A and B are shown apart, each in its own frame.
Chain A
Amino acid sequence: MTVAIDRATGKRRGDRAPRPGRLQRLKHSYQKYWYAYAMIAPVVVVLGVLVLYPLVEGFYLTLTDANSLNSARTIGVNHIEATYKFIGLDNYKDILWGPTSYDRFWSHFIWTIVWTALCVVLHYCIGLGLALLLNQKLRGRTFYRLILVLPWAVPTFVTVFGWRFMLADGGIINSMLDAVHLPSPLWLEDSFWQRFAAIMVNTWCGVPFMMVSLLGGLQSIDSTLYEAAEMDGANAWQRFRYVTLPGLRSVSSTVVLLGVIWTFNQFAVIFLLFGDTAPDAQILVTWAYYLGFGQQPRDFAQSAAYGMLLLAILVVFTSFYRRWLNRNEQQLAI
């Protein structure tokens, strides 16, 4: 098999025996790879200007007491210079173990973890169930598939408004619950039911992606494996456990990672469902938004600090996830 030369070179970085001097090596590497660097240059420039620079700026803000009253701003024709000052790591200290840090940070932190875990588990299980159903020979399965993808096809901001109409006190869901004499909770006001509603809506939005991805994974499993398993006398559960699940591994690990990241960062569902009315249902992302933009005065420094903490949580999670996958010799993927 001929393999592109480029693909082979980089992997053998280690064994270029007797190493020449550093300058020599730089020159060598420049000659060899300059076109690769030239090709990634546009993205590097864009990321540097649009991501790295704001990130550094944002990190600096977290070390100050910036808010909308002391930041640079223009009122009419008057430009007012920024007057905020450097306060070191006080913001982080205040968020993590300052007074009332439980109410402001840890309660949201715990809820965010619960929210992410529950949503991803529900997404995955329901998605897998539906994918298994759709993977059978079944009359009209293309039709079912098209309908089941619908929640993904319609923009989230549209469907969330639809849900708001349904969940409103006196909306269709409560009317139906009333009709069968079940208690009708205040979905959009009571904090437990707010959380319940948020998970329900987000599950509804997220299942189609899982379903379609897992269906793709199922279809790529070699059917002779099932035949062999059946020959060996495996029952349906055993075939699922020992053929289907391992066959889905690489798709699963990817979609679960994506699912965790997306759910953790899910802004639209909670923001549009409740607006400012649900302090207890805010996950960290929406809470950070509230601090920075949803209140007066806007607390830019704390909001940015929340952002940094969120990023740190995600980076740590992803590294561990990757390491865990590697240890189990699963191939992720990313």
Chain B
Amino acid sequence: MSTTTLQTPPADQVPAYDEPRKARKRGDRGLAGSLASHGLLIVASLIAMFPIAWLFYLSLGPDKDDYLHPAGIWDKMTLDNYAFVLQHTNFFDWLKSSLIVSLGTAFIGVLVAATTGYAVSRMRFPGYRKFMWVLLVTQMFPVAVLMVPMYQILSNLQLIDSYLGLILVYLTTTVPYCAWLMKGYFDTIPFEIDEAGRVDGLTPFGTFTRLILPLAKPGLAVAAFYSFLTAFGEVAFAATFMLSDTKYTFAVGLMSYVSEHDAQRHLMAATAVLVAIPASAFFYLVQKNLVTGLTAGGTKG
């Protein structure tokens, strides 16, 4: 008996999707299956959510060691940390640096890579394979490969601790990446459109700018967005190349709350939440296109 009562809630749900017929279709599960699926998904969702939720909870505690006795936070919850972060720290400086660097990287990356994406999608020129291979290899550069020489070159050019320097560094990964993503997107635009353009007397460049580019706006947006995210979340270069604390990006700024002597973890948590909310809202807007661009799009040689 007890098992039947336990299983009632999902039992209500199953018929909602079922056609009123007796034979069980593929994809329909028995009660146990349904229950197990929901159970697993709920557990997974909790695991996925918990660290973020926890960070949020800790950000409400007014004391820097509250993370060690979290139960105490419940009674003295406050938004003071947020007020303090917004008023008395470099939060807005960091926001400015993060935005300048990320937007700059995204904009230049897409601008430079757009024609290349089109060329590798439509034209088979000698050296094509090698070029694609170079694009792939460049994307998988470990940070360590270019870090030392870049540091030396930029310090010779007096570009350490400048936004431009950091943008140039990020372009090394985002340019090949954008080209790759956009190739995938251009591949989905029918070739007939190019041909129509040619027949009407457009040059390849004309076809590209007048016909294809307007059609490819969503693809460009995805590429720009992805470069933005990459630059926004990058840690190693930002930590090494930005020296003055007003020029930190968020990734570096957050680290600066914890030093040897003083760990202001409550402020760190509040800042982290302030960064995470807009970033993830932004992410959800484009996530569907992102995955298609990453896997399906780039997958036809």
A272 is an interface residue with CB less than 8 A from chain B: yes
Q: Is the CB of B299 within 8 A of A147?
A: no
CA distance A265 to B16 in the complex (A): 47
Tell me the chain B residues, 125-141 only, with Cβ under 8 Å from chain A: 125-126, 128, 131-132, 134-141
Report A-chain residues with C-beta under 8 Å of the C-beta of B112: 42-43, 46
Chain A residue nearest to B265 in the complex (CB): A165
Q: Is the CB of B204 within 8 A of A165?
A: no
Q: Is the CB of A150 within 8 A of B49?
A: yes
Partner of B45, one of A144, A153, A166, A293: A144
| Chain A 149-178: CB-based contact to B (< 8 A → 1; otherwise 0) | 111111111110111011010111001000
Chain B residue nearest to A141 in the complex (CB): B41
By the criterion of a CB under 8 Å from any partner CB, how many residues of chain A are at the interface? 110
Q: Is the CB of B13 within 8 A of A153?
A: no
Partner of B156, one of A72, A130, A163, A303: A72
By the criterion of a CB under 8 Å from any partner CB, how many residues of chain B are at the interface? 107
Known: A35-B203, A43-B176, A258-B294. A168 touches B68 (CB 8 A): yes
Known: A153-B280, A216-B292. A308 touches B145 (CB 8 A): yes
Q: Is the CB of B26 within 8 A of A227?
A: yes
The A interface, classified by DSSP as helix, strand, loop or mixed, is helix
CA distance A64 to B236 in the complex (A): 24
Q: Is the CB of A288 within 8 A of B235?
A: no
Q: Is the CB of B298 within 8 A of A333?
A: yes
B162 is an interface residue with CB less than 8 A from chain A: no
CA distance A53 to B152 in the complex (A): 12
A180 is an interface residue with CB less than 8 A from chain B: no
Q: Which of A6, A38, A165 has the most CB of B within 10 A?
A: A165
Given contacts A268-B236, A334-B301, list 11 more A-B pairs with CB under 8 A. A2-B195, A5-B195, A53-B153, A58-B149, A144-B44, A151-B51, A155-B229, A162-B52, A250-B299, A333-B298, A334-B136
Question: Can you name 22 A-B residue pairings with CB atoms under 8 Å?
Answer: A4-B195, A5-B195, A6-B123, A29-B126, A33-B123, A33-B126, A39-B116, A152-B283, A153-B279, A154-B276, A154-B279, A155-B250, A161-B268, A166-B51, A168-B67, A170-B68, A213-B291, A303-B147, A310-B142, A311-B137, A311-B141, A318-B140
B interface, CB within 8 angstroms of A: 13, 16-17, 26-29, 34, 37-38, 40-41, 44-45, 47-49, 51-52, 54-55, 58, 67-68, 70, 112-113, 115-116, 118-120, 122-126, 128, 131-132, 134-153, 155-156, 168-169, 171-172, 175-176, 179, 191-192, 194-195, 203-205, 208, 229, 232-233, 235-236, 240, 250-251, 254-255, 265, 268-269, 272, 275-276, 279-280, 283-284, 287, 291-292, 294-296, 298-301
